[in-house]
Amino acid sequence: MSYLPYKRADRVAVLLQEEISRVIFEELKDPRVGRVTITRVRLTDDLKFARVYFNVLGGAEQAVQCLAGLRRAKGFIRNQIRLNTDLRFIPELEFHYDDTLDYSDRIEELLKEIHSSQAGKE
């Protein structure tokens, strides 16, 4: 008996990430949902709920508008997933802004400040 290296929830999460990205890019017409990148999908082990993390160009104001557009299109996105995959149950989608890129940019800025202040002391 061989064991798979990943849980089923992990494999389905990858499928959902690809499919949600495709639907947003090709089929969603909401102008609030612009340059969106689906960064990851976290799925519960029972495959009933999915947290979809996204990032968008344009800052915090654009992220708020994009989040509203994604929440409004949630039913459409779930329906497209249902039509284009062989999943028996489509999980409930919950969208969240992924601020890891903002966080890493802030850390980079702080490191540059530290480096420049140390160079000034020498």
Task: Give the CATH architecture of domain 8-121.
Answer: 2-Layer Sandwich (3.30)
First to last CA, the chain: 63
Does 117 or 69 have the greater pLDDT score? Answer: 69
Per DSSP, the chain holds a count of helices (H) and strands (E) of 4, 3
Provide the pairing of β-strand 49-56 with 92-97.
parallel
The answer, yes or no, to whether residue 1 has pLDDT greater than 60, is: no
Average pLDDT over residues 45-63: 90
The answer, yes or no, to whether residue 122 has pLDDT greater than 70, is: no
Q: Where are the domains of the chain?
A: 8-121
The answer, yes or no, to whether residue 89 has pLDDT greater than 70, is: yes
